[in-house]
Chains A and B, each alone.
Chain A
Amino acid sequence: MKTGILMRAALAAAILTGGAGAATTTGEGAGPRAVVEQVSSQVLDVLGRKDLNSEQKRKKVEEIVYAYTDFDVLTRLVLAQNYKKFSDAQLAAFTNEFKRHLSVTYGRNVESYHNEKVQTIGDHEEARGDWTVNTKILRGGGNEDVLVDYRLRKSGDQWKVIDMIIERVSLVSNFRSQFQDMLASGTPDQLIRLLHEKNEKGEPLKANGKA
């Protein structure tokens, strides 16, 4: 019952989706582990800079994260069977709002950075050539570490992140189950509108999902 550790999932998520980036281009054909290490070190660099304010940091982390995330695959995976119900225009709108949703919710965590370090603790190949890279966010000061795994898939000659598993909870699976519930009784347009409204507010809708 006491799951304890998740707390800093926030930060982990900031690292994947948050804000800013001195996006240096990766070497072509870098392996999945190298990609994760590059992203982490670039993001930590930005978070540690004293000459940037939170908004600037968020922007930069966002650039880095966007460069290494495959949002087309992500959209297909989170929508699953419902993907077919979306027109091309709806898909584009959905992807755009979903991206923003991740930035808005996780980008706030740029402010709660307290010198955490990231350590890569392993990597292995999955069925069909995907790759999982296991990392640990070291929080120091007696705080429990946070386990974050990244799943990468090759797109062209570049490895891109398609899922993030924070303390054993996969974001793809979690969003997929939410969207399934919402699309069972609602339409794609309603879902896009809800995402949009939530993004505009920049914070959780009080009664969302209440049924």
Chain B
Amino acid sequence: MGGRIRTIALTVGCMLLVACSTVQHPSGDPWEGANRKIFWFNDEVDVHVLEPVAKGWRWALPEMVRTGFTNFFQNLGTPVVAVNQLLQGKPLQGASDTGRFLVNTIVGLGFIDPASQWGLKRHDEDFGQTLAVWGVPGGPYLVIPLLGPSNARDLTGLVVDTAMSITPFFVDGWILTTARVVQTVNARSGVIDRVREVKAASLDYYSAVRNGYQQRRAAAIRDDLDVTPATEENELYYPGEELKPQ
């Protein structure tokens, strides 16, 4: 009960963030000062705690086991993906993801992913994307302590997705906490080289991550329809020679 009220309060709060920030900012980042501080705090935690632990994890466990964990947590999240497909008016994909969930839970026990071999592709959907499909703008860019890049809309989505996800009430809190830690470490262990690469390739790591987040989200929202929005397209012409907005 208390949980539900908290969720609603959080959601309303996040929506307000979106609402009161309709003023256009060039990089979509009006709170850059605060965001940068949190970003570098997160980076400290990552460099000193998460990355070393993730390295140990990668060293200690064979790839098959790590993939198993990835599959397991992805599978747990699939019902939420399916719900979001429905909310976005994509019942066929929703059905496909429901099928994935059943197949991988029953045949794969969550840890292996036979559904992919059977042609049921994994989709990436969340409530932030659903809101975008409904026409809600991203709002200001946010860096969340310990969670990383987001924006007002996607944070709202995260709160709603979390409320929707399966957290069996009969499982002890410490087990859920452990699961969350395992999920985080395991996910981090899969991107060790990539993060190092982005750090090496960037001159302003903060801006590079913000831009990467914005581009990836935009692509996820349009589901890779091969349509480049005019704003992004314009980055490929010289200033003053841009295309007219559609």
Contact = CB atoms under 8 A, between A and B. Distances in A.
Contact of A6 (B27, B191, B232, B233): B191
Contacts of A4: 70, 190-191
A77 B191 contact: no
Nearest to A84: B239
Interface in B97-151: 126, 148
B239 A81 contact: yes
Interface string A82-95: 01000000000000
A30 interface: no
Interface stretch (B12-20, B174-182, B203-211): B203-211
B22 interface: no
A167 interface: yes
Contacts of A101: 203
Interface stretch (A35-43, A44-52, A54-62, A202-210): A202-210
B172 interface: no
Contact of A10 (B26, B193, B219, B237): B193
Given A7-B190, A10-B194, A80 B239 contact: yes
Contacts of B219: 168
A33 interface: no
A172 B233 CA distance: 11
B211 A178 contact: yes
Nearest to A167: B216
B102 to A, nearest CB: 22
B108 to A, nearest CB: 15
A208 to B, nearest CB: 6
Interface residues of A, number: 52
A209 B212 contact: no
A10 B195 CA distance: 10
Contacts of B212: 169, 174
A10 B194 CA distance: 7
A178 B202 contact: yes
Given A77-B238, A172-B236, A209 B207 contact: yes
Given A10-B193, A209-B203, A170 B238 contact: no
A23 B243 CA distance: 36
A151 B67 CA distance: 33
B40 interface: yes
Per DSSP, chain B at the interface is helix
Contact of A77 (B202, B224, B235): B235
Contacts of B126: 1
B1 interface: no
Category for how many chain B residues contact A: 35 or more
Interface string A1-12: 111101101100
Given A173-B215, A174-B212, A10 B197 contact: yes
Given A130-B236, A167-B216, A178 B40 contact: no
A46 B103 CA distance: 43
B36 A211 contact: yes
Interface string B36-52: 10001000000000000
B200 A181 contact: no
Given A178-B203, A208-B205, A170 B215 contact: yes
A126 B233 contact: yes
Residue from A142, A172, A181 with most neighbouring chain B CB atoms (10 Å): A181
A28 to B, nearest CB: 25
Contacts of B235: 77, 80, 170, 172-173, 176
A95 to B, nearest CB: 15
A177 B205 contact: no
Given A126-B228, A127-B233, A209-B204, A177 B27 contact: yes
Interface of B: 26-27, 36, 40, 67, 70, 74, 126, 148, 187, 190-191, 193-194, 197, 199-208, 210-212, 215-216, 218-220, 224, 226, 228, 232-233, 235-239, 243
Closest 3 CB pairs of A and B: A168-B219, A209-B204, A177-B211
5 contacts: A10-B194, A80-B239, A170-B235, A211-B36, A211-B206
